[in-house]
Amino acid sequence: MYQLIDGKATSAKIKEEIAVEVKQIIEAGGKKPHLAAILVGHDGASETYVASKEKACQLVGFNSTLIRLEDTVTEAELLEKVDEVNRTKDIDGLIVQLPLPGHINEQNIIEAILPEKDVDGFHPVNVGRMVIGLPAFVSATPAGILELLKRYNIETSGKSCAVIGRSNIVGKPMSILLSQKTGYGNATVTLCHSRTPDLKEITLNADIIIAALGKAEFLTGDMVKEGAVVIDVGITRVKSDKTKSGWKLLGDVKFDEVAPKCSYITPVPGGVGPMTIVSLLRNTLLASENTIFKA
Amino acid sequence: MYQLIDGKATSAKIKEEIAVEVKQIIEAGGKKPHLAAILVGHDGASETYVASKEKACQLVGFNSTLIRLEDTVTEAELLEKVDEVNRTKDIDGLIVQLPLPGHINEQNIIEAILPEKDVDGFHPVNVGRMVIGLPAFVSATPAGILELLKRYNIETSGKSCAVIGRSNIVGKPMSILLSQKTGYGNATVTLCHSRTPDLKEITLNADIIIAALGKAEFLTGDMVKEGAVVIDVGITRVKSDKTKSGWKLLGDVKFDEVAPKCSYITPVPGGVGPMTIVSLLRNTLLASENTIFKA
């Protein structure tokens, strides 16, 4: 019988832990961690994400600032706003909610954020430091997955791991983090993608599978060996006549088929998703303590 | 019958190409590319490496400057020297020959070099940019290996690749570069290391093997499938009564056993080694053209 990895409960527990830490910091005369978010335009999904980040900040006792800009904002204006936040001493972390309107070069914006405030971990300096094995802000989803593995005492050392999907924010950093000699790593990782011809052969040999390719129910039961650990990063919204909203969320894993073969598996929703906000909070706490770039 | 990948001949050819480019730049009124090297102390191997880098610069028509510091130099003094070179407009690229004396933190020195002059590609900004897929100075050995694969028309797309060794300057960047969607990549890479339990099973399935773990003659004939491409990054000096010098160089591959099974294989010496200096020259040329960080 498989065990469900409960991201919702784990993230709630970690939020409580962070709230305690914040309380102690303030009691010791320290300052409240402060996260700023820039939201450009009024995209529905982005509004939802930013709102839940703000709510999480309140819950753990952070200050949060939401900076709203219309989607007519120019790249120069947005860069100026980023610079302003960079120079605001009280703000510890800054995220710019993606995607941005097409006329703005996202990479330029990401690189304009001070690495010391880049709690999303998207800046090349943080990516590079992570790869080299230096202290860094690690991007939220891979950090959240590592935290889930730790909390469930799932061994990674000496295990074979298939990461499916080579995105900059999940697949690539995940593959490096699990390979590292330091930290929660020492797995032998195969990074799989759209040009991998014999994917099933690889996943069938994997002790741990991270499905992060963004295709609903891609990983099927015949692709997974008995006892595997399966982490589902995908989240695709599809129409459904069985839910009140008319929509349901699917992961990259065909859960009903795959789960019975697993030792551990994350559900969608309620698996990896809730952990990403927790990673963001953790990074903001680290930023306020100024520990990453001091080391 | 296997084909030998001749790094020596390839590097000579590329040096000629670079020399032609430099000549054209100068004829068009441009400036000579200029590489500076800082050498601390008098370590024999480091002296040799720096001398061959200087010689290569002369050969292709670069200016080169060697800055010698005694091994009693303090970290602060070395940082000051790096800063001075950073501010010297005529110098396009700067390398600090490693290893440094134990009292100096190498990472601090690496991070002090301007990313725009970091032609070794060791600065976190360049590592991060490489991972994300942005233009970057790629560290010399992985860049040299990619160049060899290209020059010999060895297909990587859709191939399975085993990288053995997870160092910051070879294994990790190599694994990412071969996985990339852009450039000479699209391979399915498994990054193997000292904690990989079933290495032979992985290498036996690999179309391309990059041996970069630093153990003489580690990869044996029984670990390689028929028709594999084998790239040997290792270089270990061992005593020998068969050479005039009393020493010989061994790679990470047991050449006599492995070569007969290969389609392509690099020798040691004369394989990957000569390509690293060429990568450094290429990076210096890019630095002088200021193309990487403009993009």
Strand, helix or coil at A186? coil
Known active-site residue B120: yes
Query: In this complex, is the C-beta atom of A195 within 8 Å of any C-beta atom belonging to chain B?
Result: yes
State how far the Cα of A48 lies from the Cα of A52, in Å rounded to an integer. Answer: 6
Q: What is the pLDDT of residue A281?
A: 98
Q: Strand, coil or helix: what is B130?
A: helix
Residues B160 and B206: their CA atoms lie apart, in Å, by: 5
Interface contacts (A, B; CB < 8 Å): 111
Does position B52 have pLDDT exceeding 90, yes or no? yes
How does strand A188-192 pair with strand B188-192? Answer: antiparallel
With beta carbons under 8 A apart, name residues in chain B contacting A179. Answer: 166, 172, 175, 191, 193
- B198-217 residues touching A, CB cutoff 8 A: 198, 202
Has residue B44 got a pLDDT over 80?
yes
Query: What domains are there in chain A, each with its CATH number?
Result: 30-114 (3.40.50.10860), 140-273 (3.40.50.720)
With pLDDT > 70 as the criterion, what percentage of chain A qualifies? 99
SS3 A41: coil
Let me know: does A227 contact A179? Beta carbons within 8 Å: no
Query: Are B77 and B63 a contacting pair, CB within 8 Å?
Result: no
Cα distance between residue B212 and residue B234, in whole Å: 6
Q: Give the distance from CA A245 to its chain's centroid.
A: 26
Does B188 contact chain A (CB < 8 Å)? Answer: yes
Residue A295 pLDDT more than 70? Answer: no
Cβ separation B127–A132 shorter than 8 A: yes
Dist. CA A222–CA A229, nearest whole Å: 15
Q: How is residue B264 written in tokens? A: 């392509």
pLDDT digits (tens, 9 = 90+) for B228-238: 999 999 999 99
Instruction: Say if A50 is an interface residue toward chain B (CB within 8 Å).
Output: no
Query: Are residues A276 and A140 in contact, defined by beta-carbon separation less than 8 angstroms?
Result: yes
Asked if residue B40 lies in contact with residue B58, where contact means CB atoms within 8 angstroms, the answer is no
Give the burial class of B19: count Cβ atoms within 10 A of its Cβ; 0-12 exposed, 13-18 middle, 19 or more buried: middle
Residue (of B107, B127, B143) closest to B14 by Cα position: B143
Whether residue A138 contacts residue A173, with contact meaning beta carbons closer than 8 Å, is answered with yes
Residues of B within 8 A of A112 (CB-CB) are none
Amino acid, res. B259: A
pLDDT at B184: 85
CA distances from B294 to B61, B130, B181 (A): 24, 15, 22
Phi, psi angle pair for B219, to nearest 5°: -85, 115
Does the beta-carbon distance from B129 to A128 stay under 8 Å?
yes
Smallest Cα–Cα separation from A67: which of A89, A92, A94? A94
Q: What is the mean pLDDT of chain A?
A: 96
For residues B58 and B13, give the distance between their C-alpha atoms in angstroms, rounded to a whole number: 15
pLDDT at B183 over 90: no
Q: Which residues of A209-236 are buried (b: 16+ CB within 10 A; e: fewer)?
A: bbbbbeebbbbeeebbeeebbbbbbbbe
What span, in angstroms and rounded, lies between the C-alpha atoms of A141 and A123?
Answer: 15
Mutate to test the interface with A, among B98, B166, B174, B200 (most CBs of A within 10 A): B166
pLDDT(B100) > 80:
yes
Please provide residue B97's backbone torsions phi and psi, each rounded to the nearest 5 degrees.
-65, 125
Question: What is the predicted pLDDT for the residue at A27?
Answer: 97
Q: Of A45, A18, A83, A21, give the one whose Cα is nearest residue A273.
A: A45
Would you give the distance in Å from CA A184 to the centre of its chain?
16
Cα–Cα distance, A122 to A107 (Å, whole number)? 9
Q: Given an 8 Å threshold on Cβ–Cβ distance, is B176 in contact with A176?
A: yes
CA distance B275 to B10: 8
Note the pLDDT of residue A93: 98
- Nearest CB partner across the interface for A166, out of B128, B181, B191: B181
Amino acid in the structure at residue B174: M
Residue B288 has pLDDT above 60, yes or no: yes
Q: What is the distance, to the nearest Å, from the Cα of residue B249 to the centroid of all Cα atoms in its chain? A: 18
User: β-pairing, B34-40 with B3-4?
Assistant: unpaired
CB B54 within 8 A of CB B66: yes
Which residues of chain A lie closer than 8 angstroms to B189, CB-CB?
190-191
At residue A290, the pLDDT reads 87
A174's enclosing H/E stretch is helix A171-179
The neighbour count for residue A143, using CB atoms within 10 Å, is 23
Mean pLDDT along residues B36-63: 96
Q: For the segment B214-223, what is each residue's pLDDT rounded down to a tens digit?
A: 999 999 999 9
pLDDT in tens, B268-281: 999 999 999 999 99
The shortest C-alpha distance from B276 to chain A (Å) reads 20
Assign A1 a pLDDT band (cuts: 50, 70, 90): confident
Q: Mean pLDDT over all residues of chain B?
A: 96
Q: Express each pLDDT in A130-141 by its tens digit.
A: 999 999 999 999
Q: What is the pLDDT of residues A174-231, one digit of tens each?
A: 999 999 997 689 999 999 999 999 999 999 999 999 999 999 999 999 999 999 999 9
What is the pLDDT at residue B146? 97
Q: How many C-beta neighbours within 10 Å does residue A102 have?
A: 8
Please, where are the H alpha helices in chain B? 7-27, 44-60, 75-87, 106-112, 124-132, 140-151, 171-179, 199-204, 255-258, 273-289
Structure tokens at A27: 């009691």
Which are the contacts of B155, defined by CB distance < 8 A and separation ≥ 6?
Answer: none
Separation in Å, CA A262 to CA A155, A186, A208, A224, A228: 15, 21, 10, 8, 5
pLDDT band for position B292 (cuts 50, 70, 90)? confident
Question: How confident is the model at residue A291, as a pLDDT?
Answer: 81
A182 Cβ under 8 Å from any chain B Cβ: no
Residue A30: CB atoms within 10 Å: 12
Searching chain A, which residue's CA lies closest to the CA of residue B107?
A: A134
What value does the mean pLDDT take over residues B22-36? 97
Radius of gyration of chain A (CA): 19
Q: Which residues contact B223 (CB under 8 A, 6 or more apart)?
A: B199, B200, B203, B204, B258
Residue B293 has a pLDDT of 84
Token digits of residue B186: 């699209």
Q: Which residues of A touch B196 (CB under 8 A)?
A: 158, 188
Contact status, residue A64 vs residue A35, Cβ threshold 8 Å: yes
Q: Which residues of A touch B134 (CB under 8 A)?
A: 107, 124
The DSSP code for B253 is B
Average pLDDT over residues B100-119: 97
Cite the active site residues of A. 53, 97, 120
Q: Which residue's entry shows tokens 């790249």? A: A75
Q: By percentage, how much of chain B surpasses pLDDT 70?
A: 99
SS3 at position A243:
coil
Q: Which of A190, A202, A203, A225 to mutate to test the interface with B (most CBs of B within 10 A)?
A: A190
Determine how many CB atoms are found less than 10 A away from the CB of residue B92: 25
Which tokens sit at B54?
């200087």
pLDDT in tens, B232-267: 999 999 999 989 989 999 999 999 999 999 999 999
Instruction: Report the pLDDT value the prediction gives residue B290, as an integer from 0 to 100.
Output: 86
What's the rounded mean pLDDT across residues B36-43? 97
For the record, the structure tokens of B228 come out as 């594999």
Residue B21 in tokens: 């480019």
pLDDT attached to residue B272: 97
